[in-house]
Structures are given as structure tokens and as C-alpha cells.
Structure 1
């Protein structure tokens, strides 16, 4: 698997955000976390990229995933 940049937009109270972060940790893939409840610029960036305000929003390279869609994450990462 090639090195890919991953960014996860989260809030502290979001259970799906925790699951997404745990999944990337299990895979050994580093990610940048943006807490949109504290980071206004990060929240604006997330809305611009995803078109909505719900979390998690996961950015893998230039792909945007709204929600913790494990099957789509695996597909983008080339995991079967």
C-alpha cells in the first residue's frame, strides 16, 4: 500500500469518529485529526470539501468519505 495522506474530521462526542480513528490505528495508517468543535477553520474546510456538517468526514488522498464507511475506506486503500 502506497503512503497515503489521511485526515479525519471529528468531534470529541462522536462514536463513529472514535471507530474510524481506531480502524486506521489497527491498519497502522497514520492520520491527522481535526476536531471541528474547536477548530473553526478546520470545520469550514470540512464543509467546503464534503458539502455537509456531519462527522466523521474522512479524507484519503483526494477522496472524501462522509461517515465511517469501512467498505469504501478499504476499497480506496486497496484492502480486500
Structure 2
């Protein structure tokens, strides 16, 4: 199945284990993404301008949708169903 290139952004923080899990999963699935550091005040300001008020990482931006850490993970496990649905919906 050919991957449709869509704009993905992963908002991370230094030393974030969950961020590494999400990035690894995206790479394995063949998705390219831009990584942005949530500890950067310019990145935080950009999120506020988009009505996103969270400093918990990771945050995944898929098109105009923001998927927060509490949606990306169930406990310590990656919620692959939520991620797959969001990524598939963005390609329609």
C-alpha cells in the first residue's frame, strides 16, 4: 500500500520516553514527520495560536487535528487504533 504524504508534526520534550515510542512507531509505519520541541517558547506560542494548550508530550498534529498524549497512549502502551484512524482519516 502506497503511503500518501501528509503533513505530520510530533511535538516532543527532551528525555521523553513516550515521544521516542511514537516516533519509532511512525518510522516503522513509513510516515515522515517534523519534530518540534515543546520546551521551545516559540513552539508553545504557535500551539496557543492554534488553540492547543498542553505541555504534555507527545502531541501529534495530523492535518488540522491535534492528538494529545492521553489519546496516543493507554497507560504505557501506544494506542495504535487511535493513531491508525487519525492517519487514515487525514488521507481522505
Same fold (TM over 0.5): yes
Is 1:62 the counterpart of 2:64 in the alignment?
Answer: yes
Q: Which 5+ residue runs of structure 1 have no aligned equivalent?
A: none
- How far has the Cα of 1:6 moved from its partner? 0.3
- How far has the Cα of 1:28 moved from its partner? 1.1
TM-score (norm 1): 0.82
TM-score (norm 2): 0.73
Q: Provide the aligned length of Structure 1 versus Structure 2.
A: 78
- How far has the Cα of 1:13 moved from its partner? 1.4
RMSD over aligned Cα, in angstroms? 1.9
- How far has the Cα of 1:47 moved from its partner? 4.3
Question: Partner residue of 1:73?
Answer: 83
Question: Partner residue of 1:41?
Answer: 42
Which structure has the larger Rg? 2
- How far has the Cα of 1:36 moved from its partner? 1.7
